[in-house]
Every structure is written in structure tokens, then in C-alpha cells.
Amino acid sequence: MTAPAENLKINKDRLWDSIMEMAKIGPGVAGGNNRQTLTDDDAQGRKLFQTWCEAAGMSMGVDTMGNMFATRPGQDPDALPVYIGSHLDTQPTGGKYDGVLGVLGALEAVRTMNDLDIKTKHPIVVTNWTNEEGTRFAPAMLASGVFAGQHTQDWAYVRVDAEGKKFGDELKRIGWMGDEEVGARKMHAMFELHIEQGPILEAEGKDIGVVTHGQGLRWIECTVTGKDSHTGSTPMAMRKNAGRGLALLTELVHEIAMKNQPGAVGAIGHIDVYPNSRNVIPGKVVFTVDFRSHLPEVLHGMETEFYARAPKICEDIGVGFDSFVSGQFEPPAFDEGCVKAVRDAAENLGYSHMDIISGAGHDACWINNVAPTAMIMCPCVDGLSHNEAEEISPEWAAAGTDVLLHAVLETAEVVE
């Protein structure tokens, strides 16, 4: 096996052009993207990705969760493939790079291998995971979670969006319900390139984040029940205002996270108010608490404290409280061998780098349960993500993809 030449680099302009081309599909209203999972825009993005993969000589497989797998053959047909990829679905007010860099960076790595006729022992599989964001259908990382055996496919198929549409029905409607058994594929290793979505790398002046661990997550969906009534004629003492419950529990989540600094985070991002009328006291509020920490004991402690205090806070103001966990995973520790391949690649390429813990969840967090997995991160401007103003530089994108290419060639074993 020969080590990849240290000056081996990807084609920065081709990568950037592909990212900008994908960004035209499902545009947002402020320069970013709204290409939510299982929409017609998602289907259009998938078709473009498949066209590019086939133009790069790869064959496409699709499983029953819509996960897409484009294979570049290896020299040893019995060798398990090295998987590289991320997700093409976006938040409603998403950026152009979250997930997309990881999918199109993986494609660019294959395009570069093709340019130089590089042969590897292990096949390479470029992957697009369905519904990483969990914004239309909770939970996040749904399809990689089914692939990794964390959820059943039957349960996933009946996840519903805000309009009551089912995941399985929508997957079939857009024509991307494949026939491969989800989870049947076995992996030699998996690498995911992703923007940091936080401020650390840019603040530290580093080109590359070598992701050693990730945060664990708890999504607690809560329902506070009061009584709809007139905002004008209902005396204050008679009100059962579910909106007050939301306000008090929003502050509780913030207080619990702040008690667990440094490192813990907590917020409420999803909120549905009923009937959401200007002159009706909210009779019901449904919302999702998002707690995260890279320390299991902190994550569990925050969840425990929230459950211990939230019902009493609601009882004291005369409203009801109910909840269930709508998404969760424990803090992942990535594979040391794969992490070393990433770190060595950054070092050999001369890119500044630092070990980092991923603040966001990723498909790699689930795949880490079934295959040796690691992640590569690049900085993003002001650490901003899940915002249409999300921005990275072409140089950051190229550096991350160079590291991905070298880590993959090291792991897939270049052969003459």
C-alpha cells in the first residue's frame, strides 16, 4: 500500500461550484436554503446528487429509508467499503453548507480519485442520509438511526409532520423509497465532513476540527394544558394560561443549563401555541426542550431536574403538564483509529488543527454504534448555523475535503 502524496489536493473550484449548484434547489428567503426532508425540493436535490454520482462512475443504491449509497468499486470485492457522506436536507431557515459540504465533499474526493486514477483496496461509498435535521419529522438523524438499529422502520414510517403527513407516505410520494434492506450494509469505516456550526475553530484560528467526541441529546416534547378564554373579559384570577407555563419552563430550561456550565446547553426551539389567536388566552402549548452535554452525568442530571420541577411549576399556576422523550442519544466517543487518520491527514497536509467535541448531532453519532467512525470539521463564520446567513470560505471547504480525501485513502488502502 502506498501513502497518498502529501500534495494531493481536491479541486477547490469544482467543489465550490457543486455546493452553489445544490444551493439553487430549495432556496430560502435570505440567501440560505429551505430544502426540508421528503419535499419536492429534497427529491430534486437527490436527483441532482444521483446524476453527479453516476457521472463520476458510481452506481447508486437506495434503502427503504431513502438513504442513498453511491459506490466506487475497490480492487478487492470482498473488502468492506469505506463510507463517506452526510445529509442534503436542511432546516427551514438553513444554510447552504450544513450537511451539504459533507455529501458533496465526499463526491469531490471520489472525483479527485478518478482524475488521478487512484485505486483503493476497499470500495468507497458516498452517502446521503435521509432526514438528518429532524425538523419536519422528529427525531433528528432518523434514517441513520434506523440504519444503526436505534429505531424500527415501522416506528419511523409513522412519524408525522405538522400537517399530519407520515414519513413513510412522503418518502413513497417523492419516489425515494428504495428496496435495499436498511441496515444490511456493513462498513469498514465511516467518515463525515461537516461545518462546525459553532465558534471555536474560527476563534482559535484553526482550519480543521478533529472530532473526538460529540454531545449527547435529549428532546423532551412537552404539552402544557390550560383553558382557552377571552383575553379581555376573563378576570386574571380565573385564567389558566398555558402561555405562562411556556414562559416559566423556558426560563427553567435556561437556568438548568446555566447551572451546568461550562459545556451544557438548553433551549426550546419548537413551539406550537393553540389556538394562537390574538384575543384568546392559550389553552395549550406544545414545545420541545433541547438539552445537550458531552458528559453523560450532566445530560442525565439536567433531564432529571427538569422532570422534578416542571410539573410543580405548572400546577402552581393551575395548568397541566405532560411530556415524553421525542429524541435522544448518549454522548458518542469516536473511533480512535479513525480519529488518528483524520489528525494525521491534517498534520501531513500542513493544516492547523485541534481536537474538538461536536456541539451538534450528526449521522456519524449513530453510525458510530455500528462501524468505526470519525468526523472532520471546518470553521464557519461567526460560528453561525441553522441560519440562512451561515457562511464558510472556499478555502475552509477545500481544506476539510483534502483531509477527508487523505483519511479515506489511508483507511481504504491505496493500491498500485
Query: Minimum distance from CB of 360 to ligand HGY (Å)?
Result: 4
Please tell me the distance from the alpha carbon of residue 20 to that of residue 271, in angstroms, as a whole number.
Answer: 32
Nearer to ligand HGY, 176 or 366 (CB): 366
Question: Which is nearer to ligand HGY, 269 or 337 (by Cβ)?
Answer: 269
Select from Mn ion, ligand HGY, none the partner in contact with residue 41, using the beta carbon and a kind-dependent cut-off of 5 to 8 Å: none
Cell triple for 140 = 433528528
Binding part of the chain for Mn ion, among 97-105, 106-114, 206-214, 261-269 by CB under 5 A, reads 97-105
Residue 140 binding: pick among Mn ion, ligand HGY, none (C-beta 5-8 Å cut-off by kind):
ligand HGY
Nearer CB in complex with Mn ion: 88/113 = 88
Q: Is-contact 81 188, C-beta < 8 A?
A: yes
Among 74, 95, 99, 198, binds Mn ion (CB under 5 A): 99
Total of residues contacting Mn ion (CB under 5 A): 2
Query: Residue of minimal CB distance from Mn ion?
Result: 99
- In sequence order, which residues have a C-beta less than 8 Å from that of residue 380 and are 6 or more positions away? 95, 97, 195, 196, 197, 198, 202, 390, 391, 392, 396
Nearest to 353 by CA among 364, 365, 362, 341: 341
37-68: b (≥16 Cβ within 10 Å) or e: bbbebbbbbbebbbebbeebebebbbbbbbbb
Specify the residue, 341 or 360, whose C-beta has the smaller distance to ligand HGY.
360
Stretch that binds Mn ion, among 60-68, 92-100, 256-264, 329-337 (CB under 5 A): 92-100
Q: Smallest gap, in angstroms, from Cβ of residue 121 to ligand HGY?
A: 33
Instruction: Compute the distance between CA of residue 242 and CA of residue 182 in angstroms, rounded to an integer.
Output: 41
Query: Is residue 359 close enough to count as binding Mn ion by CB under 5 A?
Result: no
Which among Mn ion, ligand HGY, none contacts residue 361 (Cβ within 5 to 8 A by kind)? ligand HGY
Q: Which is nearer to ligand HGY, 287 or 321 (CB)?
A: 287
Q: How far apart are CA 1 and CA 214, in angstroms?
A: 32
* Shortest Cβ 162–Mn ion spacing (Å): 18
| Residue 50 DSSP SS3 | helix
Closer of 140 and 310 to ligand HGY (Cβ): 140
What DSSP string runs through 324-372?
Answer: EEEEEEPPPB--HHHHHHHHHHHHHHT--EEEEEESS--HHHHHTTTS-
In the numeric block, which cell numbers belong to residue 360? 451538534
Q: Which positions ≥6 away from 296 have C-beta within 8 Å?
A: 216, 330, 331
Cβ 14 to Mn ion, closest distance in Å? 22
**264 vs 360, which CB is nearer to ligand HGY?**
360
Residue type, position 229, single letter: S
**Rounded least distance, CB 287 to ligand HGY, Å:** 16
In this complex, which beta carbon is closest to ligand HGY, that of residue 157 or of residue 219? 219
Residue 213 three-state SS: strand
Residue 284 β-bridge partners:
225, 274
Q: Which three cell numbers stand for residue 174?
A: 417523492
Of the pair 289, 360, the CB lying nearest ligand HGY is at: 360
Does residue 85 contact residue 139 with C-beta atoms inside 8 Å? no
Residues 6+ apart with CB under 8 A from 98: 90, 91, 194, 195, 197, 385, 386, 390
Residues that bind ligand HGY (CB under 6 A): 132-134, 140, 360-361
With CB under 5 to 8 Å by kind, the binding choice for 134 among ligand HGY, Mn ion, none is ligand HGY
The answer to whether residue 363 forms part of the interface with Mn ion (CB under 5 A) is no
Cβ 258 to ligand HGY shortest distance, Å: 20
Q: Find the shortest distance in angstroms from Cβ 192 to ligand HGY.
A: 12
98: contact with Mn ion by CB under 5 A? yes
For residue 273, the minimal CB distance to ligand HGY (Å) is 22
What residue has cell string 486514477? 117
Rounded CA gap, 271 and 278, in Å? 16
Smallest distance from the beta carbon of 413 to Mn ion, in angstroms?
29
205 Rama sector, left if φ>0, alpha if ψ -120 to 50, beta otherwise: left
Span near Mn ion by CB under 5 A; candidates 30-38, 93-101, 117-125, 168-176: 93-101
What's the residue count for the chain? 416
Positions touching Mn ion (CB under 5 A) are: 98-99
